Structure formats: C-alpha cells, structure tokens
Amino acid sequence: MIVERAPAKINLALHVRRRREDGYHEIETLFAFLEDGDEVRAAITDTPSFVATGPFANALGDAGDNLVIRAEAAFRQAFAIDSAHALLLVKRLPVASGIGGGSADAAATLRALARLHGVPLDDPRLIACAEALGSDVPACLVGTTALGRGRGEQLHPLEGTAGIPVLLVNPGVALSTADVFARWDGRDSGALGAGRPIVLAMRGRNDLEVPARMLAPDIDAVIEVLGKAARPWLVRMSGSGATCFALYDTADDRARAASAIRRSGKGWWCLESALL
C-alpha cells in the first residue's frame, strides 16, 4: 500500500484580476503548504473500493462522487490502467474551508497512483489530470510554495517559507467557492508582483475576504481574535474561506494563540502547524 500525505494549502495572498470568458477567474496567488493535512492510501486490488475515515469523513457527502474517486478515474483513463484500486482517505481537514482539502486529496491520490504504477510525477498526462480536476490541484500536486497565475495552474516555485509557525482557525462554516466568487465586486485592485514570498505575503491581500465575510460573518470574529493573540505578523483568510490563518515568529507564540482560542469556548476548529 502506498501512503501519501495531502498537506493543507493556504493562500498567503490572493488577487482576483478579472473574470475570464471560460467562466473562471484570472488570479494571482501565493500558495503555501503545511506540515499537516489529510492522508491518502492506495493499493492495487481485484475489487475497487473507497473508504473515508477521520474527524471530517462524514462531511464528504456522497461517497460515490468526490475528488479522490474522480482523480482515480482520471488517472486510469489517462494511463489506460485496467487494474482496480482500494483507496482510503483519512480526512482531518474541514470540508469547503479554503485550505485545499479536496484538491490536496485529489493530488495525493494522483501521486499515490503514480507511485503504484511507476509514473513520473512530471509526466504531462499526470499534470493534465490535475488541471482537469480543479484550479488548485496542480499546485497541490507539486506541494511547494509557489506563485500561481492563470486559474492558479501556472506555477512558479519560490523558497523562503519553510518552518514558519502557522495557526489555522475555522469557525465551523463551510463556504461554496462559486458563491464567494459570485460576490466578488469585479474590481482589479492590482497585481501581486514579484519578490520573496514573505514580502509578497505582507504587501498582498485576499480579494475574496470581503465577499466571504458577507456570507459568513463569523470570519470577522476569527480575524479579530487572531489579530490580538500572541502578536502574529500576518493574519488573513485563506482561499475562499472560511478558514483563517496567522503566522508567527516562534512556535511558542503560536501555541499561546492556540491556547487562547481554545479557552474562548467558541468551539472553533484549530490546527497548529508550520509551513513546508
């Protein structure tokens, strides 16, 4: 059995530039990945199967239609694979939360199946599978800090974020990416630019934060609490929300902030981790 991690994804910055004729949005984003996340296990078998476990397994909905199963089907078609696969997803990340859980799971499935069948991870057919599965899946397939353009699939790897302590907080709200994008005001507030990732993150923004807050006002409370806890040097919502993150100088600062949030009694989901 092959075991693949599916690290959580955050957008250190996310600039929406315009709506494209194909219905997608032209974006510029700074992807970063965490040491923690979901896990996908895959093996060749006689009878296909899919099992989900973990604290958020029940939130997946229809077990016959999710990104893990779609990724497996896309892989078999792209590489003319006749054998069946047993797939196990350990779902530790909240669903529809802006941290790439489904996309990371799909990417981990592609990597696991590629290892099973001896396919190089840079095979163009594998990358095409990722692009067809979703805008964030190519970045999750690579799993390193990168500047993403286009739909997010045009990737330019960057260095300089490894080990930065990060705290994720979700108020228990699931948001539809389509609904959030539909409420974007359509204004281009400027490019993300180029430079070191930390500089880009500090001078960047998340253009989806305002529409997400309209749909989920609890995001306001999360950002306010994070901003006051243990002196973070950046607090922002990730992706289309509702998960927010804070970056810290030290793991001790992160731990103090996490402790304060847990003591608040709000019942928010909280994850202490670090950037890869």
Q: What is the pLDDT of residues 4-55, one digit of tens each?
A: 999 999 999 999 999 999 999 999 999 999 999 999 999 999 999 999 999 9
Extents of the domains making up the chain:
2-157, 165-274
d(CA 173, CA 196): 32
d(CA 12, CA 32): 7
Asked whether the CA dihedral 14, 33, 59, 63 is positive or negative, the reply is positive
Residues involved in catalysis:
9, 136
CATH topology of domain 165-274: Alpha-Beta Plaits (3.30.70)
| Predicted local distance difference test score (pLDDT) of residue 63 | 59
User: Which position has the token pair 């934060």?
Assistant: 209
CATH topology of domain 2-157: Ribosomal Protein S5; domain 2 (3.30.230)
**E strands, 67-120, where?**
84-90
pLDDT digit string, tens, across residues 126-184: 999 999 999 999 999 999 999 999 999 999 999 999 999 999 999 999 999 999 999 99
118: helix, strand or coil: coil
Per-residue confidence band for 84, with pLDDT thresholds at 50, 70 and 90: very high
CA-based nearest residue to 258, from 235, 223, 229: 229
Query: Angle at which helices 124-133 and 67-78 pack, to 10 degrees?
Result: 150
